[in-house]
Amino acid sequence: MGTFEIHSYGLLLAVAFLVAIQIFIARGVKRGLPEEALSSVSLVILILAILGGRGLFVLTHWNDYATDPLGVFRLWEGGLMLYGGYILGIAGGILYVRGKGLSVWRVADAAAPSMAIGIGIGRLGCFLNGCCFGLPTHLPWGITFPSGSYSTLTFAGSLLHPSQLYLAMAGFALFFVLIRLDRVARFDGWLFWTAVASDAVIRFLIDFTRYYDSTSFLGTIGGLSFNVNQVLSVFLITTALIMLRVLSGKRAVTAPASGDVPPESEPPAAGEEAMERRPSA
């Protein structure tokens, strides 16, 4: 009989999506949102996340595909950039939810913790895959990867920052923080944009410990070089802060995760407006 390979990155990526979707649907139902609509939203966001993650990876690694265009479609070989899927998933998800006549920001608040735990689980896959590795370090928790791993082609024998684990731990921590913050009712969209801003700040800082090839850097300020993901992080932080300011003026109070609706708000009704061949990023 032949062999069947199960790659850790792909497996954990699938687990990340499954766990995130189940949490999202359960939280949405507690907020009075229809389960069937939440399931369809999950499928749309999943597809957009894969397309966006693959698209941004291909754009930033076009030299690898110029002579092999069909390689773009070989997703099983790996090659996704988280922010590509992140941004397309958010933008497309908002449009889809609005088209369904659901409360956009109530749905987004239900999804916020799922985004964090999905990133946490997915980054464990990055660690097991050996991609998204860190820069050399002398810190006592520096790690080395097995011979033949991506990092050994660049930093053979060096201790490296476990950047993937930094991101994984940050994702899990953010998940629990968001769950706790959601116990108090605030305006619709507050939890979602707080999650976006917090994750972007975390990503911006941790990326100083990560290795990127020279094509990923866009400039240097004060001796510090900034990569494309850090620039996207700044964009997300700025967008989140603007949206928090805008939405706070509307003061539409969201229901806590417990499903208890505060006296000053009403439950929404249907129709109410309200990513192993290459490293991934």
Structural domain boundaries of the chain? Answer: 8-138+151-250
DSSP assignment string, the chain: -------HHHHHHHHHHHHHHHHHHHHHHHTT--HHHHHHHHHHHHHHHHHHHHHHHHHHTHHHHTT-GGGGG-GGG----HHHHHHHHHHHHHHHHHHTT--HHHHHHHHHHHHHHHHHHHHHHHHHHT-S-B-B--STT-B---TTSGGGGTSTT--B--HHHHHHHHHHHHHHHHHHHTTS--BTTHHHHHHHHHHHHHHHHHGGGB---GGGEEEEETTEEEEHHHHHHHHHHHHHHHHHHHHHHH--BPPPTT-PPPTT-----TT------S---
Mean pLDDT for each consecutive 10-residue tract of the chain (281 residues)?
A: 72 92 96 94 92 84 79 70 86 93 95 96 91 94 91 91 97 97 90 97 96 79 83 95 92 54 44 45 60
pLDDT at 145: 93
pLDDT at 160: 97
pLDDT at 112: 96
HSE-up of 9 (CA within 13 Å, CB side)? 20
pLDDT at 266: 45
pLDDT at 9: 81
